Amino acid sequence: MKRKLEVFGFLRKSGIRKQLYTIYILAVFFPVVLIGIFLVSNTYKLLTNYHRDLLESDNLRVRTILFEITTQAYNISEELSFNARVASILKGSYASEEELAYAVNQSSEVVDNYMYHYTEIAQIDIYCDNPDIREYKQYHRVDTQTEKADWYQRAVSQTSVFWKEMKSVDKYNNEYWGLCLIRRIPLVKSDYHAVLVIRISDNYLKTRINSVEYRNCASVDEGVVFYASDRDDYGKAQPVEIDYDKIYFQYVGSRKIKNKTCFVGISTLRLYQSDSKIYICTINDKSYDNISSIIETCLIIILLAILVPGILIHFFTTYFTKRVSTLRHVMHQASNEDYDFKEMVRGDDELSEAFEDLEIMVQRIKEKDALMYQTMLNEQKLVNEQQKMEFKMLASQINPHFLYNTLETIRMKAYTVGDREAATAIKLLGKSMRYVLENSGTTFTSLQNELNHVEIYMKIQKLRFEEKFDYAFLIADKIDVSKCIALPLLLQPIVENAILHGLEERERGGMITIRVAWAADNTELCISVSDNGCGIRLETLEQLREDIVTRNPEKKESIGLYNINQRIKLCYGTAYGMTIDSESGNGTTVTIHLPKKVVHNL
């Protein structure tokens, strides 16, 4: 019970997304992986045993066939070796080749019958060192090469039968290997020696042994392969290593053959009435591919069993947590008294019902807030009316001429004591204040007055910043600024931004240029304020362009530029306004676009 509480306690401390993923891992991922590992390993074991059993069965089949054929060949050799007519031919004396042919033909059915009636026999050869024996049919006189051959020496020296692979060459010089029974033919009361060689038919072996699925190789003792399903294996050593010292060598397992893993089965056949042994190697080079294909299919199924639920869990988790996060966000928004919800929880489940209840509660709160706000407005309206009356009373007591006269008195005092710089600053301040007060209640003024006011402002700033910057007015020909009307206090905020922000990083050498010119198509009057300052980065410029068009209540920057742009659009239409061009490191240009009709006689 305590462990159960600990597990649920861990889940309660995690987020919903993490809880769902944890449940998926515990309930789906781990069980499927463990079951998959068990099934794959068990399937691999079953398939391996199955193919191994089939391999052993085919190896036994080949061993049985070879035992049957070799036993039959041995029985034939017994009959021929102790055949009196064959012995008589081998011991006889022949004055001519015709006499030998006559004797052989008289007894030809003895040897020929075996070749004609036993398809497993490819050839029967009898070698004899009788000098009267010549090459005729199955009978051969032992020449020097044959006499020196190992198989002949062995056959002459022992009485038992033995088997050996022997190479033959056809008339086209093609080499063939075949299994041969070799034994001595006893010639009683004779000094001659005779050897019987029975060659097993390779085509017969192929017919009996060949298999579509399995590759077989057979060799005698430590010799080369005399039979193989693949012609390339003839005359070569066995494709796998064999321990010839063992009386009975047997192996079943996997080996690497020609860089490919194969199932291999090797067994030993002790030949009837002989010390010779045939080693039979059975190879299946497709089993591992089949097993790998089945295992891969199982792994893909297991992977899909993990991925498909995982993908579904992922999408459901994303969808569910998004809805929960939306509900949490709007509830947090409502707790901060922000009731304008931009998000909604859609659906027909408990989350959507909780959101609907929240909306009903918020609507009631908004209704109550509206009543309270209306009451506060009424109270504030009375306060504002009272403050307006008090302001008008105070404003009426202030005579602008009193301010100008006072500033003039201060200026003369400074001039008298020799402080001309202070006197100049006071004079410029007086002119600036007079322009502001005179135009605070007017709608339009001349462009000349606006430029004069900007020049006064820049002169005051030069007294402050000294060599930080200089300025210039460039007015195009045929433009009389005294006949152009403009909104008052339009350029001063732009020039202020150029000095404070555009030339912020310059200690000296700054330049403010004010140009008045016609647009390229001669339909607009363009007034531009340029600086040679640090410029604006592209992302900041894009944000600034957006801020002068759309007011962001949360941002206090760019309010002056926004107000200028809005004043122009409200006065002249949305086709006019303000543009900003800048390049990082190459300064900034702010251009005001006014309609052509602003130029006329005031």
Q: What is the pLDDT of residues 50-102, one digit of tens each?
A: 889 999 999 999 999 999 999 999 998 888 888 888 888 888 888 788 888 88
Give the pLDDT mean for 427-440. Answer: 64
- SS3 state of residue 359: helix
Confidence of residue 163 (pLDDT cuts 50, 70, 90): very high
Looking at the predicted structure, is the pLDDT value of residue 373 above 90?
Answer: no
Confidence of residue 397 (pLDDT cuts 50, 70, 90): very low
Q: What is the pLDDT of residue 438?
A: 61
Query: How are the residues of the chain apportioned to helix, strand and coil, as percentages rounded to the nearest 5?
Result: 55, 20, 25
Looking at the predicted structure, is the pLDDT value of residue 427 above 80?
Answer: no
Rounded Cα distance between 127 and 115, Å, is: 17
Residues 98-116 pLDDT 10s: 888 887 777 777 777 787 8
Between 162 and 359, residue with greater pLDDT: 162
Q: Which of 435, 429, 502 minimizes the C-alpha distance to 469?
A: 502
Residue 399, CB half-sphere, CA atoms under 13 Å: how many? 4
Looking at the predicted structure, is the pLDDT value of residue 417 above 70?
Answer: no
DSSP-derived letter for residue 533 is S
Full set of structural domains in the chain with CATH: 51-288 (3.30.450.20), 469-598 (3.30.565.10)
Q: What is the pLDDT of residue 371?
A: 80
Contact (CB, 8 A) for 140 and 126: yes
Q: What is the pLDDT of residue 394?
A: 39
- SS3 state of residue 365: helix
Average pLDDT, the chain: 81
Residues 16-46 pLDDT 10s: 778 877 888 888 888 888 998 999 899 889 9
What DSSP assignment string belongs to 481-511?
Answer: GGGBEE-TTSSHHHHHHIIIIITTT-SS-EE
Q: Which amino acid is at 277?
A: K
Q: What is the pLDDT of residue 267?
A: 93
From residue 376, give the alpha-carbon distance in Å to each of 184, 196, 263, 309, 387: 135, 133, 95, 58, 16
Confidence of residue 268 (pLDDT cuts 50, 70, 90): very high
Q: pTM value?
A: 0.53
The three-state (H, E, C) secondary structure of 31-98, written as one string = HHHHHHHHHHHHHHHHHHHHHHHHHHHHHHHHHHHHHHHHHHHHHHHHHHHCCHHHHHHHHCCCCCHH
Residues 493-549 pLDDT 10s: 888 888 888 888 888 888 999 999 988 888 889 999 999 888 888 888 888 888 888
Q: What is the pLDDT of residue 290?
A: 87
- SS3 state of residue 198: strand
